[in-house]
Amino acid sequence: MSNSERRKFLKSGLALSAFSMLPAFISAQAVTGKTGAEQATPTFPARLIKGDTIAIMGMAGAMRDPKILSGFIQIMEQQGFNVSVGQTVNKTYGYLSGSDEERANEFNDFVANSNVKAILFIKGGWGCGRVLDKIDYPQLKKNPKIILGFSDMTSLLNAIYQKTGLITFHGPVGNSSWEKFSLNSFQDIVCRGGDSFQKPELPQLQLFSTWQNGKATGELIGGNLTVFCSLLGTPYWPSCAGKILFLEETHEEPYRIDRMLNSLRLAGVFDEVSGIIFGQFNDCNAEKPLESFTLEEVVRHQLKGYSFPVIWGAPIGHVKNKWTLPIGVKALMDADGLSVKLMQPAVS
């Protein structure tokens, strides 16, 4: 799905949800980005070991190239995992990989299946937000497992963490590169129970650098900026109080980045977080540069007056080399040393 289409879908979906939830929105002080829901006690899924079964399914956009699936299966099998492929991977329902009911039911079935130790997704796009109210959250609490993805999965990952306390994982999907850097981070965090993240070895779109000095501790929260903002005012919005927020984006012009960061600022998010890690902002340049601020300028505008530490250009997002970040795990970020270290393993 093109980025302009995604924005149209998000805009229409947000408008409908805003009208349908208006009384709850007001009574729960959603104007400040808070829903009033208490954060559930953290639950750590079991680490993956060789011989475990991984489910692959479609939760967002439809897969158009069958080579994506075969390549993904091969990568997972090479790591020693058994693979169970859901029917949604090969379904097409408009721009979605199956109807809302088909995708939600398949996800819930994989959750209930005790033999499945992890659920991974074939690709992003748009669609997770449509099924957040159809997920069996009580079953996830009874049968916790690794849930991993990024981009559109941002809404699902954060909703699950908010509703159940289950640690979820922001990392590659089926059509990601899965080269050495990304694969090593995946293995280290979900298989070995590692606590640190490798600094990027290759040049990136945005330079990995310190934007604001200092150290911060807090649970990791965040993901794709557009999708994360779409949760504002819903029951699936996670508390950002004391959290380390990480954000990434792709194919959005600076004025749109400005608008979304402004929404977070006005919602009080920047008043609550302990630090921010900006990932890669892929192709987020102005169509008319002479009539626009740059990406860096609008970010600095929105952060003006805040003193928390800020890291810029981390390997997170729509790029070849990416970290697997556990949402909900307490971490220490050192902006001066450009390091992020988990204060406990993300898996049991």
d(CA 346, CA 194): 8
Burial of 99 (C-beta count, 10 Å sphere; 0-12/13-18/19+): middle
291 noted as active-site residue: no
Q: Express each pLDDT in 285-297 by its tens digit.
A: 999 989 999 999 9
Q: Which domains does the chain have, with CATH numbers?
A: 3-38+196-342 (3.50.30.60), 53-190 (3.40.50.10740)
Neighbours of 218 (CB within 10 A): 21
- Across the chain, mean pLDDT equals 91
Helix (H) or strand (E) holding 262: helix 254-266
Non-local (6+) Cβ contacts of 303 within 8 A are 211, 212, 270, 276, 310
182 noted as active-site residue: no
From the list 17, 151, 185, 230, the catalytic residue is: 151
Q: How confident is the model at residue 7 (pLDDT cuts 50, 70, 90)?
A: low
Neighbours of 337 (CB within 10 A): 12
Non-local (6+) Cβ contacts of 147 within 8 A are 118, 119, 156, 157, 160, 166, 168, 169
Indicate the pairing of strand 116-121 with strand 146-149: parallel
d(CA 315, CA 324): 9
Q: Express each pLDDT in 87-131 by its tens digit.
A: 999 999 999 999 999 999 999 999 999 999 999 999 999 999 999
Q: Express each pLDDT in 164-180 by its tens digit.
A: 999 999 999 999 999 99
State both tokens at 110: 């994989």
State both tokens at 209: 């650098």
Non-local (6+) Cβ contacts of 141 within 8 A are 40, 43, 164, 165, 166
Helix 254-266, helix 295-303: angle, nearest 10: 10
Q: List, as one string, the DSSP characters of 60-100.
A: SBPP--HHHHHHHHHHHHHTT-EEEE-GGGG--BTTBSS-H
pLDDT of 21 strictly over 80: no
Q: Express each pLDDT in 242-297 by its tens digit.
A: 999 999 999 999 999 999 999 999 999 999 999 999 999 999 999 998 999 999 99
Non-local (6+) Cβ contacts of 275 within 8 A are 214, 216, 218, 244, 245, 308, 309, 310, 311, 333, 335
From the list 102, 106, 248, 253, the catalytic residue is: 248
Cβ atoms of 48 and 81 closer than 8 Å = yes
253 noted as active-site residue: no
pLDDT of 13 strictly over 60: no
> Which whole number is the average pLDDT over 303-312?
97
d(CA 34, CA 238): 8
State both tokens at 295: 């990406």
pTM to 2 decimal places: 0.89
